[in-house]
């Protein structure tokens, strides 16, 4: 039986496949100074969720509750919170990686990780956008400073980060080249991709040239090989934070720039995302929605690596 001091959450006691996830009842947290308790309405899933479920990643050994995307209502505020009141609709990304926990009925968030949800945005959209949008925004605007007329290559352009990055790059006036299997090229055109490339039938780093910016969502040798596509002074921004030192050494040799980044919770970035999404210029493509209790099914689908867009948990 439920009560006001507990909540449902999706947890795991061991590392492994989707089958390790289970619904549990845990104590509902209380917000501390400069913290907000959010009643979760929708929470996106990202590849980092299945990676942490399987390997522990930054979080180490379970038990833990995953989830960094959140959209919902403010349930309570801690001391010093002036920006929000109970009942306000908010969305954002919990601080990555240690602020996880949105795959639950309630979650604690630092006040500056959140911004107001535009009324035109439903909770599913708002729950899908934060992590992928902040990643793309920080990569393309802060690190790469994409400007009108520049050529931008987005790897895995139909994926979670990729499809949002295409829209942000187009919003900034770029010519966008996007990689995906041939069956997804129609989707890429709908996003605004100017030049779809089938990575299965050709070596992208051999056929694409004179690029100003590459967004590398794949890592591994893709990071290093992408350097060859750049114009002098161009930049590859990889959202995979670890890898071979060859990435930086080859960039120096070629006279280009190489950056590895981790997305960071950021109110200014979230406000930019909210403005774009609220005006209809930025949307996430929803690959599927699942009730909280069926989180394992969402992870099964995510594990395939073949989804187009975002998977979202809906919390009733």
Query: How many residues are recorded in the chain?
Result: 316
- Mean pLDDT confidence for 295-312: 96
* Nearest-angstrom CA–CA distance, 36 and 73: 10
Sign of torsion, CA 268 126 164 279? negative
- In this prediction the pTM is 0.96
pLDDT of the residue at 243? 87
pLDDT of the residue at 238? 98
Residue 226's CB: how many other CB atoms inside 10 A? 26
Sign of torsion, CA 20 22 24 30? positive
- Phi/psi for 103 (5° steps) reads -85, 65
Q: Are the C-beta atoms of 91 and 85 separated by less than 8 Å?
A: no
Domains of the chain: 6-129+284-314 (3.90.180.10), 132-260 (3.40.50.720)
200-231: per-residue pLDDT in tens?
999 998 899 999 999 999 999 999 999 999 99
pLDDT of the residue at 206? 87
Classify each residue of 24-36 as buried b or exposed e, where b means 16 or more C-beta atoms within 10 Å of its C-beta: beeebeebeeebb
260 DSSP β-pair partners: 238
pLDDT band, very low/low/confident/very high, at 22 (cuts 50, 70, 90): very high
Strand 106-110 to strand 114-116: parallel, antiparallel, or no bridges (unpaired)?
A: unpaired
Q: Are the C-beta atoms of 257 and 145 separated by less than 8 Å?
A: no
pLDDT of the residue at 267? 94
* Nearest-angstrom CA–CA distance, 88 and 262: 29
253-292: per-residue pLDDT in tens?
999 999 999 999 999 999 999 999 999 999 999 999 999 9
pLDDT of the residue at 205? 85
Check whether 2 has a pLDDT greater than 60.
Answer: no
pLDDT band, very low/low/confident/very high, at 1 (cuts 50, 70, 90): very low
Nearest to 226 by CA among 147, 178, 155: 155
């Amino acid at each position: 039986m439920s009560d006001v001091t507990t909540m449902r959450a999706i947890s795991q006691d061991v590392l492994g496949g989707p089958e390790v996830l289970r619904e549990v009842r845990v104590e509902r947290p209380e917000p501390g100074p400069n913290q907000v308790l959010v009643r979760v309405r929708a929470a996106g899933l990202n590849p980092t969720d299945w990676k942490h479920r399987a390997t522990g990643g930054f979080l180490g050994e379970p038990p833990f509750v995953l989830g960094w995307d959140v959209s919902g209502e403010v349930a309570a505020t801690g001391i010093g919170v002036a920006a929000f009141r109970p009942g306000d609709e908010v969305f954002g990304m919990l601080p990555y990686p240690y602020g996880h926990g949105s795959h639950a009925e309630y979650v604690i968030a630092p006040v500056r990780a959140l911004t107001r949800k535009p009324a035109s945005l439903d909770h599913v959209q708002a729950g899908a956008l934060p992590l992928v949008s902040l990643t793309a925004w920080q990569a393309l605007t802060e690190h790469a400073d994409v400007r009108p007329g520049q050529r931008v290559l987005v790897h895995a352009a139909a994926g979670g980060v990729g499809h949002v990055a295409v829209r942000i790059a187009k919003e900034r006036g770029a010519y966008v080249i996007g990689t995906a299997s041939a069956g997804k090229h129609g989707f890429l055109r709908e996003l605004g991709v100017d030049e779809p490339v089938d990575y299965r039938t050709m070596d992208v780093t051999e056929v694409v040239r004179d690029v100003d910016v590459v967004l590398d969502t794949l890592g591994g040798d893709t990071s290093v090989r992408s350097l060859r596509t750049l114009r002098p002074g161009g930049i590859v921004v990889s959202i995979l934070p670890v890898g071979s030192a060859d990435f930086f050494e080859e960039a120096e040799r070629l006279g280009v720039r190489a950056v590895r980044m981790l997305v960071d919770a950021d109110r200014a970035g979230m406000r930019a995302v909210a403005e774009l999404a609220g005006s209809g210029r930025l949307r996430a493509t929803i690959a599927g929605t699942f009730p909280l209790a069926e989180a394992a099914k969402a992870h099964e689908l995510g594990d395939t690596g073949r989804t187009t867009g975002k998977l979202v948990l809906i919390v009733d």
